[in-house]
């Protein structure tokens, strides 16, 4: 049993392969609590020998898994959902320690979403089946929907167990095995998920977790025994993984970054619009890929909107993320905080008006953590850096507009296409604008809700493929066509 080092909260972590803790031979990495900078645990990155071992275990377990009746596989995935719910408090606390997100959020948005996902895909194991094609008297064809084999999942740090589940549940439901690498910044809860999947009755090795940073992810992407890579991460990492996956022609799913728009029309309910803008920018400290960070407000309601928005933003309670009253915790790391603060500076230097926030919190309660006040910029232009680039922190840009056609064109003028939102009471406008916006998800009179039944994913440079919904199964299966001839074989020779 590993010992807890005197300066860490937990014992050393290790990759989880076929039910065993496997210390990798790679770099030593520490995961820290962003609320106070303390080291939570250390681990060694998985090296290529460790990844080989995970791939071997996954192939063996996948054969066993596939031999089980689909209904039995569904029962096991349902047990995973049940165990996740039963352990919500413990898992939510770990997620908060590792990510800094407020404990107000984690039980539902993180652990609840993970459980919902296993439950949804548990119900689908029996419908992963093919089609029959009649071809006349003497022939027919049918398709089989077969799993890809061993899939790799690579995660970001903002929603660790949710990302692990959104990849693993559909992969397993379709008959695959999964090797998951959480972000090196947030490795803890994926390891808990591995224990839970085994406790639920899945064959050991069906779901493995390898720890490490980019090098480990790159070794997974290059591995010939892995059939698919599903990434949640930034656009530059997505491009690197896609290029590397081409060497072995792997399937890829890419859940990448965004710079989404939220459009507030003049007939929208103003308080609801402010609520949507807050949810679209400041939930999880603004560290959400689908955030609507370009808030376009109709010029006739802009002043009123901005006043109410500022008032509510200044009341957001920032503090210890484990305190149930806290509404915003620290950013994930010192480096990330510095990056976000640099964007705030850039906004000011390019002439945007900083209406509120944007500064680091340094008083006693905050001094070793990575806290900042949520920032709102007004008087922004479409060409400013803060309006063009993904910041991935609590920084909102408010822009104004007068014409629907013009605002839709401006909302679409970005290489990203993950999500968008619109606030209006006009039904025809809602559907017209939803159709015209170039994004994978559109929220009408809401923002950032991701029920598992609804497919989620990006267009343009925000991604390829979809997670969740029935759609996700397409990205974890292949169709095999079987042509059956009942007559004589006709040949011209
Ligand atoms: N579309 C979506 O569903 C979501 C997208 N994101 C995006 O993720 C980004 C923030 O997360 P980060 O962890 O900072 O992203 P990142 O791109 O730096 O890292 C993501 C993961 O990729 C791994 N990685 C890095 N280099 C790699 C390589 N060459 N080969 C294989 N793996 C590699 C990292 O270790 C990490 O596990 C933002 O851009 C955000 O928009 C975050 C959450 C959801």
Q: Read off φ and ψ for residue 300, nearest 5 degrees.
A: -75, -20
Residue 348 near residue 397, CB atoms below 8 Å = no
Strand order in the sheet with 132-134: 132-134, 139-147, 477-485
- Per DSSP, which regions of 18-173 are E strands? 20-22, 28-32, 39-44, 132-134, 139-147, 150-154
Name, in order, each residue with C-beta under 8 angstroms of 196's C-beta and a sequence gap of 6 or more: 80, 83, 84, 87
Confidence of residue 7 (pLDDT cuts 50, 70, 90): confident
User: Residues with catalytic annotation?
Assistant: 255
Rounded to the nearest angstrom, the distance between the alpha carbon of 155 and the centre of ligand 1 is: 6
**pLDDT tens digits along 122-170:** 999 999 999 999 999 999 999 999 999 999 999 999 999 999 999 999 9
The pLDDT of residue 372 is above 50: yes
Residue 378 near residue 392, CB atoms below 8 Å = no
Helix H or strand E encompassing 416 = none
ipTM of the complex: 0.96
Pocket test for ligand 1, best of 234, 420, 472 (most atoms within 8 A of CB): 234
Model pTM greater than 0.90?
A: yes
Residue 384 near residue 361, CB atoms below 8 Å = no
**pLDDT tens digits along 306-365:** 999 999 999 999 999 999 999 999 999 999 999 999 999 999 999 999 999 999 999 999
The pLDDT of residue 1 is above 90: no
Q: How far is CA 288 from the centre of its chain?
A: 8
Looking from the CA of residue 184, the nearest atom of ligand 1 is: 35
The pLDDT of residue 4 is above 80: no
- Per DSSP, which regions of 138-205 are E strands? 139-147, 150-154, 177-181
**pLDDT tens digits along 230-252:** 999 999 999 999 999 999 999 99
Residue 54 near residue 66, CB atoms below 8 Å = no
The Cβ of residue 271 has, within 10 Å, a number of other Cβ atoms equal to 11
- Tell me the average pLDDT of the chain: 97
Rounded to the nearest angstrom, the distance between the alpha carbon of 416 and the centre of ligand 1 is: 15
Residue whose Cα lies nearest atom 8 of ligand 1: it is 233
Burial of 365 per CB tally in 10 Å (0-12, 13-18, 19+) = middle
Average pLDDT of span 82-106: 98
Q: Which residues line ligand 1 (CB under 6 A)?
A: 154-158, 181, 183-184, 213-214, 217-218, 221, 232-234, 237, 240-241, 255-258, 289, 390, 392, 418, 458, 463
């Amino acid at each position: 049993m590993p010992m807890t080092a005197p300066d860490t909260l937990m014992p050393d972590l290790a990759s989880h392969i076929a039910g065993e803790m496997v210390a990798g031979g790679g770099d030593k990495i520490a995961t820290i609590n962003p609320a106070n900078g303390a080291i939570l645990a250390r681990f060694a990155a998985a090296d290529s020998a460790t990844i080989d071992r995970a791939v071997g275990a996954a192939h063996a377990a996948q054969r066993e898994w596939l031999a089980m009746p689909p209904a039995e596989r569904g029962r096991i995935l349902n047990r995973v959902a049940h165990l996740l719910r039963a352990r919500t408090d413990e898992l939510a606390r770990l997620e908060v320690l590792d990510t800094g997100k407020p404990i107000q959020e984690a039980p539902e948005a993180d652990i609840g979403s993970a459980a919902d996902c296993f439950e949804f895909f548990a119900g689908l194991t029996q419908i992963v089946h093919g089609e029959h094609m009649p071809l006349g008297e003497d022939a027919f064809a049918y398709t089989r929907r077969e799993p890809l084999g061993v899939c790799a999942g690579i995660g970001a740090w903002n929603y660790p167990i949710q990302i692990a589940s959104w990849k693993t549940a559909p992969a397993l439901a379709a008959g695959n095995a999964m090797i998951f690498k959480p972000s090196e910044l947030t490795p803890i809860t994926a390891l808990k998920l591995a224990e839970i999947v085994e406790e639920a009755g899945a064959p050991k090795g069906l779901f493995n977790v390898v720890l490490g940073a980019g090098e480990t992810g790159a070794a997974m992407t290059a591995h010939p025994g892995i059939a698919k890579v599903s990434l949640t991460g930034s656009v530059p990492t997505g491009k690197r993984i896609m290029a590397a996956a081409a060497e072995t022609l792997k399937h890829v799913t890419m859940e990448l970054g965004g710079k989404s728009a939220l459009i507030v029309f003049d007939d929208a309910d103003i308080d609801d619009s402010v609520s949507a803008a807050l949810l679209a920018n400041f939930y999880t400290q603004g560290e959400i890929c689908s955030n609507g960070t370009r808030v376009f407000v109709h010029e006739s309601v802009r002043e009123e909107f901005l006043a109410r928005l500022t008032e509510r933003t200044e009341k957001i309670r920032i503090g210890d993320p484990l305190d149930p009253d806290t509404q915003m915790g620290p950013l994930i790391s010192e480096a990330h905080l510095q990056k976000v603060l640099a964007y705030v500076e850039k906004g000011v230097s390019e002439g945007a008006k900083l209406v509120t926030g944007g500064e680091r919190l340094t008083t006693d309660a905050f001094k070793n953590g990575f806290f900042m006040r949520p920032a709102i910029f007004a008087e922004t232009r479409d060409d400013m850096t803060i309006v063009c680039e993904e910041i991935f922190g609590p920084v909102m840009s408010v822009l104004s507009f007068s014409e629907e056609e013009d605002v839709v064109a401006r909302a679409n003028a970005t290489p990203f296409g993950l999500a968008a939102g619109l606030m209006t009471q006009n039904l025809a406008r809602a559907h017209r604008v939803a159709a015209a916006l170039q994004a994978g998800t559109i929220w009408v009179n809401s923002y950032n809700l991701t029920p598992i039944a609804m497919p989620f994913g990006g267009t343009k440079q925000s991604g390829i493929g979809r997670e969740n919904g029935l759609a996700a199964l397409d990205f974890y299966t292949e169709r095999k066509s079987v042509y059956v001839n009942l007559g004589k074989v006709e040949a011209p020779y």
